[in-house]
Amino acid sequence: MTDSQGKQTTGALRPLLLFSSCVALFVLVVGAFKTSATIWAQLNPAYQPLAQSTVLTLGHQHAGALLLFLLVVCAWFARKSGDRIIWWLNAAALSAGLCELLTVVVVPLRNATYIASAHAMCGHVIFACLAAAAIIAITGSRHTEPPVAISGGFPLVSLAVWIPPLVLTQVVMGAFYRHDLWSVVPHMAGAMVVAFLFVSEGVILLQKAPEHRLLSRAATWGITVVIVQISLGIADFLLRLLDFQDSMVWLIVSVAHVTVAALVFTASICLAVSVRAYVRGTSAHSG
């Protein structure tokens, strides 16, 4: 493929990725709302109609089917674009979509809670990879700005690569907690570790490379969503602890907590890609 063809493909891919990310976010939010509404209805039977809403169920199913089709189309365009990072992100999203389809339709497990947890994990992977690919495609080449030399003992590059898997682990533990498979303790302990590493990475980047547009934006966005997510997590836990789990406030906080988790995952991927592309020096060699 020539450079002009690659640019044309990337130009078509940008709005496609953006639209697919919106569909993925819709599927994620509706799924989180259905799960929280089900927990809500278990505490107060008056909310059963909301938890069993046909509109929500059909909307979730039809949007999920559309999303699977979009994943295939995005993966094809990403492959044609020649951008390796965008291609791998779309391939990961498509793989998660196929795994979700396999888990829900072809290989139903005995315990429905494990299906729901796997469903939630795949939904986060799909949205985060699509959204990160869209952001990377929209911001342009990862080599439009000069690299920055950051020296020091903190392993910026290697840590940036490890943060996305750690965030995904947090998503899994959160899903286990929401579906009563685990206690909240592992999720809370993991949240403190991930928040510390994520914020430390972002703060060092803001201190060492404040003039670098992409690195500073990725760091600022990452720190912001992590702080918001920790605040929502604390609010969710306190509302459960104080037996306000059957209130509308808890329902809103719970859905927001799941949604922002997907944004944290997206921010971690964007940060990892940006750091790998631009950071040079002693820290880079340590990774």
Q: Is the pLDDT of residue 2 over 50?
A: no
Cα–Cα distance between 121 and 175 in angstroms, integer?
7
Q: Is the pLDDT of residue 283 over 70?
A: no
pLDDT in tens, 61-71: 899 999 999 99
Give the 3-state secondary structure of 144-168.
CCCCEECCCCCCHHHHHHHHHHHHH
pLDDT in tens, 181-228: 888 888 999 999 999 999 999 999 999 888 888 899 999 999 999 999
Domain ranges of the chain: 1-140, 145-287
Q: Which region among 32-46, 81-95, 162-176, 199-213 has the lowest average model confidence (pLDDT)?
A: 32-46
**Number of alpha carbons in the 13 Å side-chain half-sphere of residue 5:** 6
Q: Is the pLDDT of residue 284 over 50?
A: no
